[in-house]
């Protein structure tokens, strides 16, 4: 891989802080931070497919780099001068998921790379979002090492599980969010949505044009549904919103589900309910057999655009050029791996509130960074 250089820091008088986003993907986290007034210097990722959506929607450069070959000095040089510095990152979560935990996966070391880069760059504020199972991965040692490293370097650390519907996200997703600051105590802003007001699947996607399986909307190529085999077409027709494959006639049930080891996998081959938040959007949400990703009343899985909307990307968020090819696997990975934009905005708002509190106490955002520069 040719190493791309990070941009050199330039003054940014319109922003309240200067951000570098590691493992930036398609830009969900960066986009949310921008909407809250934080200045974005660049996003860094190894996935070239993310360049177009990241740069098109955020306006910041996408740097294709392997973080193992990245130095904290490069990150420090990219920050705008005289602004609080913020390093954010969502290390790929698959190594910490239930499905891969038993396997040896070198990606688990990416959180250690994030730890190294924080230690080298010493940003004023750090934020990380990941799966809550990271708390138990390798008996929690990896997360504890990260937190211990931050606290040892003088950061105040807040780290808790966050239920996404509490923040206006229409999916029953729980994520681990960490915030750390060298300025003083910091935490995520309190939840803003009560359970009776949780956004539902209907609130998010009910107005989109109807599609058949294998069809794409003529005005929005991202509103495209994957095709179904004749057998799966019969299965989805027999499925009930919120139900499982146990609702089907026995002739439609897969052999593996009739066996003892497959009987517990009831969350696959199901339809969403209009009146509830969606299940967690994964990287394979476009496939009917990959979870409860069937459309509530159309005989298909949800479309790529519907998955992006459930991740709270704006409906007009651009993932491919106008003439670009729609590749379900690539786009599903981008969307499913993203930090939901509304969660990113809550993280950005938390940083904004924190900096305002520091200013109210008589400090200026840039001063602590300059104070630590000699360390």
pLDDT tens series, the chain, 375 aa: 567 999 987 777 789 999 999 999 999 999 999 999 999 999 999 999 999 999 999 999 999 999 889 999 999 999 999 999 999 998 764 443 333 334 444 545 678 889 999 999 999 999 999 866 666 555 557 788 899 999 999 999 999 999 999 999 999 999 999 999 999 999 999 998 999 999 999 999 999 999 999 999 999 999 999 999 999 999 999 999 988 888 888 888 877 655 544 444 556 788 999 999 999 999 999 999 888 999 999 999 999 999 999 999 999 999 999 989 999 999 999 999 999 999 999 999 999 999 999 999 875 444 444 333 333
Judge whether 93 counts as a catalytic residue.
Answer: yes
In Å, what is the CA distance from 289 to each residue of 8, 160, 207?
46, 32, 24
Active-site residue identified among 24, 42, 50, 93: 93
At what angle are helices 110-121 and 141-152 packed, to 10 degrees?
0
Task: Give the residues across from 22 on adjacent strands.
Answer: 44, 89
Q: Where are the domains of the chain?
A: 18-190+340-361
Q: How far is CA 111 from the centre of its chain?
A: 15
- For residue 254, give the 3-state DSSP assignment: coil
Find the length of the chain: 375
> CATH says 18-190+340-361 is which class?
alpha beta
Name 21's Cβ contacts closer than 8 Å, sequence gap at least 6.
Answer: 27, 29, 30, 33, 40, 42, 43, 44, 88, 89
- CB neighbours of residue 36 within 10 Å: 18
How far apart are alpha carbons 339 and 27 in whole angstroms?
Answer: 8
């Amino acid at each position: 891989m040719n190493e791309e250089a990070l941009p050199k820091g330039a003054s940014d008088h319109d922003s309240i802080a200067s951000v570098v986003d590691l493992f930036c993907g398609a830009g969900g986290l960066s986009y949310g931070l921008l909407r809250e007034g934080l200045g974005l210097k660049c996003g860094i990722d190894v996935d070239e497919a993310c360049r177009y959506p990241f740069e098109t929607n955020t306006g910041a450069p996408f740097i294709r780099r392997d973080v193992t070959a990245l130095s904290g000095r490069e990150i420090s040089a990219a920050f705008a001068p005289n602004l609080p510095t913020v390093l954010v990152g969502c290390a790929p979560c698959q190594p910490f998921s239930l499905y891969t935990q038993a396997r040896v996966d070198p990606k688990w070391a990416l959180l250690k790379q994030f730890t190294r880069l924080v230690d080298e760059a010493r940003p004023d504020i750090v934020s990380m979002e990941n799966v809550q199972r990271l708390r138990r991965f390798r008996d929690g040692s990896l997360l504890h090492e990260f937190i211990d490293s931050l606290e040892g370097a003088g950061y105040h650390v807040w780290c808790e599980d966050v239920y996404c519907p509490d923040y206006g996200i229409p999916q029953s997703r729980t994520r681990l969010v960490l915030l750390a600051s060298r300025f003083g105590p910091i935490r995520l802003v309190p939840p803003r949505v009560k359970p009776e007001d949780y956004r539902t699947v209907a609130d998010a996607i009910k107005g989109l044009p109807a599609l058949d399986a294998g069809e794409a909307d003529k005005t929005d190529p991202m509103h495209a549904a994957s095709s179904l085999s004749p057998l799966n077409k019969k299965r989805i027709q027999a499925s009930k919103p919120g139900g499982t494959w146990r609702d089907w006639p026995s002739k439609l049930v897969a052999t593996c589900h009739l066996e003892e080891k497959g009987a517990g996998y009831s969350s696959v081959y199901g339809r969403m309910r209009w009146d509830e938040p969606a299940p967690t959007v994964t990287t394979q949400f476009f496939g009917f057999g990959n979870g409860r990703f069937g459309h509530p009343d159309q005989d298909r899985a949800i479309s790529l655009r519907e998955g992006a909307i459930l991740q709270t990307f704006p409906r007009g968020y651009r993932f491919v050029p106008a003439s670009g090819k729609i590749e379900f696997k690539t786009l599903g990975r981008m969307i499913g791996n993203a930090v939901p934009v509304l969660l990113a905005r809550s993280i950005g708002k938390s940083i904004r509130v924190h900096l305002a509190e520091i200013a109210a106490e008589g400090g200026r955002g840039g001063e602590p960074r300059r104070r630590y520069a000699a360390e």
